[in-house]
Amino acid sequence: MSGLEKALFNLKFTEKQLTRQAAKAKQEAAKDEAKLEKAMKQGNQDIAKVYAQNVIRKQNEHLNLLRLASRIDGVASRISMVMDKFESQFEDLDVATSYYENATTSANAINTPQEDVDRLLGKVADKVGVELDQELNAATPARGIQQPTEVEEEGLGERLRALRN
């Protein structure tokens, strides 16, 4: 697991913890509100005032925790989206690299003159004492570079436009 994936996991975990804490604060506010009602029925105004302050504080805590959880969830979503986009671009780069490697390999094979290859084979065969078959000279030369089809060309053009945007 990479560092970015760990950070994303930690963000999601933190968001869940904050959501749980917000729910707990809401429950505590409800409990304190019940205690507030009980204190008011008994005529304890000072105690009722303390419970009322606790209820307000817990309600504010609930809202603040939910806001923070929402912000963290938004950050995690953006990071996840960026990671997906990076992965897609990396795959496109792999495809392009593979295409260029194949093209340069084919070009290198074509650029080597056949008569030079035959001459070197003849020298080495004379040195070693082996006779070359006449078929070796009549062998088919290497194929040329295959030009991409129109469909492939359009697909590559679309990918290039998408990468530029």
pLDDT, one tens digit for every residue, the chain (165 residues): 688 889 999 999 999 999 999 999 999 999 999 999 999 999 999 999 999 999 999 999 999 999 999 999 999 999 999 999 999 999 999 988 988 888 777 766 666 777 787 888 888 877 776 665 544 555 555 555 667 677 778 887 888 788 777
CA 68 – CA 60 distance, rounded (Å) = 12
CA 43 – CA 54 distance, rounded (Å) = 18
Which tokens is 139 given?
């062998």
CA 118 – CA 131 distance, rounded (Å) = 13
Q: Where are the domains of the chain?
A: 1-85
State the pTM of this model.
Answer: 0.56
Could you please report the per-residue DSSP string of 63-80? HHHHHHHHHHHHHHHHHH
